[in-house]
Structure 1
Amino acid sequence: MGQPDTFDHATKTQDTTEVDRLAEVRVANAQEHELTFFQALRVYPKGVFWSMVMSTAVVMEGYDTKLIGTLFAQPAFQKAYGEPVRGKTDSYQITAAWQSGLSNGSTVGMLGGLLIAGIISERYGFRITMITGLSIIIALIFITFFAPSLVVLEVGQCLFGIPLGLFQTTPVIYALEISPLCLRAYLTNYVNFCWAFGQLIATGVLRGVLNRTDHWAYRIPFAIQWLWPTILIPLLFFAPESPWWLVRRGRLDDARAVVKRLTSTRNIDFDIEKNIALMIATTEHERAVNAETSYRACFQGTNLRRTMIVIGIYCVQTLNGNPLRGYSTYFLEQAGLPTTQAFNMTIAGFAVAIVGGFFSWVLLPISGRRAIYVWSLVLMFIIMILVGALGVPQSSHPKGSYAWAIGSILLVSSFLYNCSIGPLTNTLCSEIPSALLRSKSIVLARWSYAITTIVAGVLTPYQLNPTAWNWGAKTGFFWAGGCLISVVFAFFCVPEPKDRTTAELDILFERNVPSRKFSSTAVDVVEAISQDEVKTV
């Protein structure tokens, strides 16, 4: 008769423990929602700092992306690597074929780097991944710095892209995983800010050496790339690892230590144990749905929809006309602006982009991610139509006024992109995947984006080069079509993740809630987790 009593006692104890655990999850989930922006800054000052340090590596990607495209408009680079233009004295051009090859060189390398990043970041952590990539970059810069020909420069760009692939996913995921709910949009947006800052630096450096006629005119810009690894490697050596990653690896004590390190000891309202309990519950729930963490798992069950959404969002970055802005210096030069003025307009464009990045932080608390994203694409469609329309008279009767008007509209498009589409891409694509597959989902999305970038990198030089298709500003019509496709996709497919924890988003996707109804659908995390455990039993 004594054994049933013992069994009942053990069962009651287990039930009590489970009730306590679920209560902690409920409190932690509520704690995430109740934490305001300024409270979060007081609780997570170190988390904000380390997120910004990690994201600064993206400056290198923005710098490299802008560097090659802008060098095509630099006279010293054109003379060193280009071919004489028939009928023009002392005039040189990099052929459209080589422009395409060089523009896509680092992107091709990124394809391999991205796939590697998805594996090693989950196996060895984000900190080790970043330090390794930065160390490799120091050696690879020597190839592009001393490149005697376009062939060697192409090889250097391809190899350089491999570690850049590590930087495209790691900082975004790291920013989300070490920050609370109300800060994650701001910190993931900051990644795009760093990208724009890198492009501004590249354009400014090239403008500064524009009047040089020797090989230092293009070697100094390559040498600047050594600056960032020498600063970031020592800093990242002391950076904390993501607590979510530590939970996924079963290192719960280390995760508690990291959360304690990231948060301020002066705040007595924040409960670290409950915060870790929510991470554990979310991870266990996702493993109960699908414990597999391979790339294949991204295309199974509810993860298929999530993966296709983030792939689409990253492809929109290309479709909305970004390649045209990437060639803005060369494009404006071909449109009729003097080389110096073309550089000045490009610098102004990236200054406006940084202002747009700050303005995106103003928009975040005012409106939902989905609304900002959809309406900004509608506006971008109108802008691309205007650029194309101005290109019609410019092609038949070139005037400086047309060139300045086109340049001004591109400034507006740069502001619009960097206060909406650009930064929200990082935010949406880090929030939408499951925690278990976040790294690999973003890798697949960035991989798809790289493919579209390669295609655009082949097409854009031919569209703009006077020795090829010579579309000029009429290229805007082409990208207006891309914007229209993007608007349709965003309206029907992009959900609203604002004010949703990872666990809540898991449940919304599992219930197959339509994207347009994410913001209005009520979710009870504890109820969902309890049901999941009943099914498991």
Structure 2
Amino acid sequence: MATITSTMEFESIEAPVTFKAYLMCAFAAFAGMLFGYDSGYIASVLGMDEFKRVYGYLHTVVIDGVEREILTYSTWQKSLIVSILSAGTFFGALFSGVLADRIGRRTTIILGCGVFMVGVTVQITALSVPALVIGRLVAGFGVGFVSAVNILYMSEVAPRNVRGAIVSSYQFAITVGIMLASCVGYSTQDRQDTGAFRIPIGVQFLWAVVLAVGLFLLPESPRYFVKKGRLDKAMKVLARVRGQPDDSEYILHELAEIQANFDYERQVGEVTWSGCFSGGVFTSNSNARKLFIGIAIQMFQQATGINFIIYYNTTFFQQVGMQSPFLISMITTVVNVVSTPISFYTIERFGRRPLLIYGAVAMTICEFVVASVGTARPDSEAANYCLIVFVCLYIFFFASTWGPAAWVVIGEIFQLPMRSKGVALSTASNWFWNCIISITIPYMVDEGKGGLGVRVFFVWGALCATCAVFAYYVVPETRGLTLEQVDRMMEEVSARRSGGWRTREDWARGLSDMGEQPASVQMQPKSSQRSSEAT
């Protein structure tokens, strides 16, 4: 492998972010639209009479002493139809790590779009529960490719000073997709033909086509080319996403840092799948420690209960007797959308840890209020108003904290030799727990089963409190660091002290600003620094 060297001083580490470069990085976040829409359309479709007529059956119930026949479907059918998407996505996310290293990040995402479109085709052409389940399983496999590798791609191409905002825009696109799914479902709910649910399902083609075509026009990740030993291509694509000429000192410096870090880690050895679990969870900066953080933070994101609202909001609002459940569902998705952009600023201004800690505390309060009032005053108008207001507040806090921050963290904590595998396993954790929660919710909430109803928010509130504890003791602060510096920081300090960690160059700059110029300040590659420390 050729060597890239840079003579740049430490005062100018990274190129200024141009508008064109920012747009190129931000477009990749459009993948969240596909993810969000596919997750969100099922909530409206499940509540449609036409969907119940095609996929359900007539059921006799007694209302006010009078027997009536209503269209419905079994709890197991609802559970399976919703959760099977997450099962497919779990396996797709796992498999994506291998493909991302072999054929590239961008190509894997495009392939995922193709698989997704096959699944959508099955869903709209065959009208039976087995066909719907198979279609959602295949579509989920494609979403697994996209959701795992897109985070990896954005983290590797985004400039460090706006990386948190760029990756947060992925969560924003997810919320927009969920909102659009709700709006489409709201507009087709009263149709008396299969278009009521086929239209919301078929719209997904648009997002997959736009993403695939757009990615053909975007460059591959420069870190992927470094990993493959193609520094010439790495330099060209890095210059393109930074909006700089190929021979710019900014580009040479950043590429030299990426190369030096990879050279050191390559000496240690390529990380196998089993190697991702090496070192022990309690060992600072070990592979197992990083993987534990990534897997656990995605698990806890699901444990907040957000997908109870996303997947089952319409049917849940129907169960508790609310008027206009489709409209209320759409309002919650609008709150989700308008709240997420707040994180673009706060995640870079305050950091990842504060958002995760205080966001979890705020969600805990909201969910306990909903559960307490709903239990004390069941079937009352006051309880319904409380449910709407505090569910919207809960969504606000999730969308501006845990929603984006969990994705940002898993894109930053893994070193290059295991990054694709680490992100894939972390994303698979998200979808595994997504699947488990999707399966169990109907059995927890439905009458004749667990029958918890609104009391299920006690469960989510307790889990959110656990999220706050986890974030405080385990999650490191990665704001303002390059992906290579994050590795160094996790080796030197604990999560609770990570917010105050600075690079050697930052300390040198501080001494210089105070008039205490150090005798020698050099931008050493990480391998050189560690070698000198060992002697």
TM-score (norm 2): 0.89
1:482-497 alignment to 2 at 5 Å?
482-497=463-478
Give the Cα–Cα distance (whole angstroms) in 2 for the partners of residues 499 and 448 of structure 1: 26
2:320 to 335, 341, 349: 335
In 1, Cα distance between equivalents of 2:94 and 2:308 = 27
Distance 1:85 1:405 in 2: 32
Q: Deviations over 1:36-91 (max 9, x none)?
A: xxx42x2xx34322333322122111111112233222222122212323225342
How far off its partner does 1:393 sit? 3.2
Give the counterpart of 2:232 among 253, 273, 283. Answer: 253
Q: Is the 8 A contact 1:192 1:357 kept in 2?
A: yes
Describe how 1:9-408 pairs up with structure 2 within 5 A.
21=5, 24=7, 27=9, 30-32=11-13, 39-40=16-17, 42=18, 45-87=19-61, 89-265=68-244, 271-288=250-267, 290-301=268-279, 302-326=286-310, 327-338=312-323, 341-395=324-378, 398-408=379-389
Between 462-471 and 496-505, the greater mean CA deviation after superposition: 462-471
Equivalent AA in structure 2 for residue 291 of structure 1: G
Whether the aligned pair in 1 keeps the contact of 2:175 and 2:333 (CA below 8 Å) is: yes
1:46 and 1:261 in contact (8 A); partners too? no
Letter in 2 for 1:166: F
Structure 1 distance, partners of 2:422, 2:223, is 16
CA distance in 2, matches of 1:450, 1:67: 17
Q: Percent identity?
A: 24
CA drift of 1:270 comes to 5.6
What are the superposed Cα offsets for residues 139-198 of structure 1, whole Å, 9 maximum, x if unpaired? 221211023211211111111111110011112111111121101101100110111111
Query: Matched residues in 2 for 1:527 and 1:233: separation?
Result: 37
Residue 354 of structure 1 and its aligned partner are, at CA, apart by 1.4
Q: Secondary structure at the match of 2:60?
A: coil
Amino acid at match of 2:385: W
Change (3 A) 1:209 1:394: farther
Say whether the 8 Å CA contact 2:341–2:400 is kept in structure 1. Answer: yes
Which runs of no fewer than 5 residues in structure 1 stay unpaired? 1-16
> Does the Cα contact within 8 Å between 2:97 and 2:424 map onto a contact in 1?
yes
Give the conservation status (yes or no) of the 8 Å contact 2:347–2:405: no
The separation in 2 between residues aligned to 1:496 and 1:388, in whole angstroms, is: 33
Kindly indicate whether the alpha-carbon contact (under 8 Å) linking 1:307 and 1:445 is maintained by their aligned counterparts in 2: yes
The letter for the 2-side match of 1:530 is: S
Q: Structure 2: which amino acid aligns with 1:516?
A: R
Q: Are 1:210 and 1:217, in contact at CA under 8 Å, matched by a contact in 2?
A: yes
2:426 to 445, 461, 466: 445
1:404-423 CA-partner distances (Å, limit 9, x unpaired): 22022111111111111101
1:433 aligns with 2:411: no
**In the aligned structure 1, how far is the partner of 2:178 from the partner of 2:27?**
18
Alignment partners' CA distance in 2, 1:54 and 1:365: 19
The CA deviation at 1:245 is: 0.9
**1:247, 1:268 → 2: CA distance?**
17
- Normalising by structure 1, we get a TM-score of 0.89
What SS is found at the alignment partner of 2:411? Answer: helix
Amino acid at match of 1:277: A
Is the Cα–Cα contact under 8 Å of residues 100 and 458 in structure 1 kept in the other structure? yes
> 1:521 pairs with 461, 477, 501, which one?
501
Paired with 1:375 and 1:473, the residues of 2 have a C-alpha distance of: 24
CA displacement at 1:265 relative to structure 2: 4.4
Question: 1:221 is matched by which residue type in structure 2?
Answer: P
Partner of 1:478: 459
| 1:188-209 C-alpha deviation (Å, 9 max, x unpaired) | 0011011111111111100001
Asked if the contact 1:332–1:403 (Cα under 8 Å) also holds between the matched residues in 2, the reply is: no
Pairs aligned (count):
504
Is the 1:185–1:427 Cα contact (8 Å) retained in structure 2? yes
The residue type equivalent to 1:369 in the other structure is R
Q: Which 10-residue stretch deviates more, 140-149 or 378-387?
A: 140-149
Return the offset for 1:285: 2.5
Counterparts of 1:527 and 1:423, CA distance in 2 = 31
SS at match of 1:496: coil
Does structure 2 conserve the Cα–Cα contact (< 8 Å) formed by 1:51 and 1:171?
A: no
CA distance in 1, matches of 2:143, 2:37: 11
CA distance in 2: counterparts of 1:247 and 1:239, whole angstroms: 17
From the superposition, tell whether residues 32 and 400 of structure 1 become closer, same or farther in structure 2 (CA, over 3 Å).
farther
Corresponding residue SS for 1:106 = helix
CA distance in 2, matches of 1:167, 1:275: 27
Which amino acid counterpart does residue 366 of structure 2 have in structure 1? I
Question: 1:386-436: CA deviations, max 9, x gaps?
Answer: 1111221344xx123322220221111111111111011111111111122
Tell me by how many angstroms 1:464 deviates.
2.4
CA 1:206 to 1:198, structure 2 compared with 1: closer, same or farther past 3 Å? same
Q: Output the CA distance in 1 between the equivalents of 2:445 and 2:469.
A: 27
User: Residue 332 of structure 1 contacts residue 407 of structure 1 at CA under 8 Å; is this kept in 2?
Assistant: no
Contact 1:52 1:190 in 2 (8 A): yes
Q: What is the deviation of 1:278?
A: 1.0
Task: Give 2:433's aligned amino acid.
Answer: T
Mapped contact 2:368–2:457 kept (Cα < 8 A)? yes
Question: Residues of 2 paired with 1:469 and 1:265: CA distance?
Answer: 59
Contact 1:109 1:158 in 2 (8 A): yes
- Runs of 4+ off more than 6 Å: 266-269
RMSD of the alignment, in Å? 2.3
Q: In structure 2, do the counterparts of structure 1 residues 414 and 112 end up closer, same or farther at CA, with 3 Å as the change threshold?
A: same
Task: For 2:254, give the aligned amino acid.
Answer: N
The alpha-carbon deviation at position 309 of structure 1 amounts to 0.6
- Measured in 2, the distance between the counterparts of 1:368 and 1:50 equals 24
AA of the residue aligned to 1:69:
A
> Partners in 2 of 1:208 and 1:467 — Cα distance?
32
User: Contact conserved, 2:164 with 2:348, CA < 8 A, in 1?
Assistant: no
